[in-house]
């Protein structure tokens, strides 16, 4: 099943749940078990009062928004690229199984960061993570097993960053550089790292192996720096490694990765407000409930000792 089909299947399941239960939000218990809340009684005569589900494009916008929030959280804690990449892949894979209407991306985002820290042995407690961004750490612990189960406990992630370093070393040897030319490759490597950051926010990590993601980033970086004949270098890789793909197939893959980056679109603030309203409606939250929660939140903020410059993940 392709990516689009998986997204459609999760979206359709959530829509059916909405019709049956009057809400899409799953309840998560402390042991990671899932259940639906009691059905919400609605006036069947008033069709206009019924919540409207998110469509595929709106779900995509929601995922994109929180993938960027995930990056902000990792930056705020100065986590290395490896943790950020692992958390992003967890988040992306989770929403191949679920709709954002079923599990709020904010909760999943935080849990994925926590899980990535664990698997990469960069130990940060749920309490520390929650406190640092003013969120309830118990939500992270509740969702931890749900995330692991949704990933089918396949938790090892191979990110392109290490491949970039390996290819840079190989390029230096391929080009026969002297010490004076090393700086050009260092600059190219740094630019490629930024390009990998862009690629990781797209669907490309679902579709291509880390080595090809790294090569696409390096090719983009080489366009800026003009360090070597990249076409010739690709040919050398194919020849030396007796690769399964020929040069035209490899180039086609790199072009497809570039296209993913080109097509990437971040939702506008107006779009997100509209999507959030629809999402809250799917969960049975009225505007009156939101105002009560907002008052309570402001009151609790006044009495808390939160750090003023932490990123917002709401």
Side-chain-side CA neighbours of 46 within 13 Å: the count stands at 7
Instruction: Find the Cα–Cα–Cα–Cα dihedral 242, 248, 252, 254, rounded to 10°.
Output: 50
Is the CB of residue 241 less than 8 Å from the CB of residue 174?
no
Q: For domain 3-150, give the fold.
A: Cyclin A; domain 1 (1.10.472)
Q: Measured between alpha carbons, how far is 173 from 240 in angstroms, rounded to an integer?
A: 13
End-to-end CA distance of the chain: give it in Å, rounded. Answer: 32
Q: What is the pTM of this model?
A: 0.82
Q: Is residue 116 pLDDT above 80, yes or no? A: yes
Q: Where are the domains of the chain?
A: 3-150, 160-263
Per-residue pLDDT reduced to its tens digit, 52-110: 889 999 999 999 999 999 999 998 888 988 999 999 999 999 999 999 999 999 999 99
Per-residue pLDDT reduced to its tens digit, 254-279: 999 999 999 999 989 999 999 998 88
Burial of 185 (C-beta count, 10 Å sphere; 0-12/13-18/19+): buried
CATH ID of 160-263, from 1.10.132.20, 1.10.472.10, 2.40.50.140, 1.10.10.10: 1.10.472.10
Q: Give 39-47's long-range contacts (Cβ < 8 A, gap of 24+).
A: 40/284
Per-residue pLDDT reduced to its tens digit, 4-56: 999 999 999 988 888 877 778 777 776 667 776 666 565 554 555 677 889 99
pLDDT at 153: 92
Q: Which residues neighbour 45 within 8 Å (Cβ) at sequence distance 6 or greater?
A: none
Per-residue pLDDT reduced to its tens digit, 119-172: 888 888 888 888 877 788 888 888 899 999 999 898 888 889 999 999 999 988
Per-residue pLDDT reduced to its tens digit, 194-253: 999 999 999 999 999 999 999 999 999 999 988 888 898 898 888 877 656 688 888 999
Q: Measured between alpha carbons, how far is 161 from 150 in angstroms, rounded to an integer?
A: 25
| 3-150 against 160-263: fold identical | yes
């Amino acid at each position: 099943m392709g990516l689009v089909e998986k997204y459609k299947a999760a979206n359709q399941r959530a829509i059916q749940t909405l019709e049956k239960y009057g809400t899409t939000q799953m309840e998560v218990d402390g042991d990671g078990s899932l259940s639906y809340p009691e059905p919400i009684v609605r006036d069947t005569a008033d069709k206009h009062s019924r919540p409207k589900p998110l469509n595929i494009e709106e779900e995509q916008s929601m995922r994109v928004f929180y993938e960027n929030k995930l990056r902000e959280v990792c930056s705020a804690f100065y986590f290395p690229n490896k943790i950020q990449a692992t958390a992003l892949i967890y988040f992306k894979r989770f929403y191949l199984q679920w709709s954002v209407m079923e599990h709020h991306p904010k909760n999943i985002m935080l849990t994925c960061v926590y899980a990535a820290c664990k698997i990469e042995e960069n130990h940060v407690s749920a309490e520390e993570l929650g406190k640092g961004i003013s969120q309830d750490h118990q939500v992270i612990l509740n969702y931890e097993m749900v995330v692991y189960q949704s990933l089918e406990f396949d938790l090892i992630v191979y990110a392109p960053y290490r491949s970039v370093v390996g290819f840079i070393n190989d390029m230096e040897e391929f080009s026969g550089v002297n010490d004076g030319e090393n700086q050009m490759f260092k600059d190219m490597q740094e630019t490629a790292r930024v390009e990998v950051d862009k690629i990781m926010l797209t669907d490309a990590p679902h579709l291509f192996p880390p080595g090809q993601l790294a090569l696409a980033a390096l090719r983009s970086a080489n366009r800026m720096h003009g360090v070597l004949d990249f076409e010739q270098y690709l040919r050398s890789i194919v020849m030396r490694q007796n690769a399964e793909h020929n040069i035209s197939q490899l180039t086609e893959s790199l072009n497809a990765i570039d296209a993913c980056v080109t097509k990437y679109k971040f939702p506008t603030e107006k779009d997100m407000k509209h999507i959030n309203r629809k999402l809250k409606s799917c969960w049975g939250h009225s505007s009156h409930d939101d105002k009560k929660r907002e008052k309570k939140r402001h009151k609790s903020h006044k009495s808390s000792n939160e750090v003023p410059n932490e990123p917002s993940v709401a």
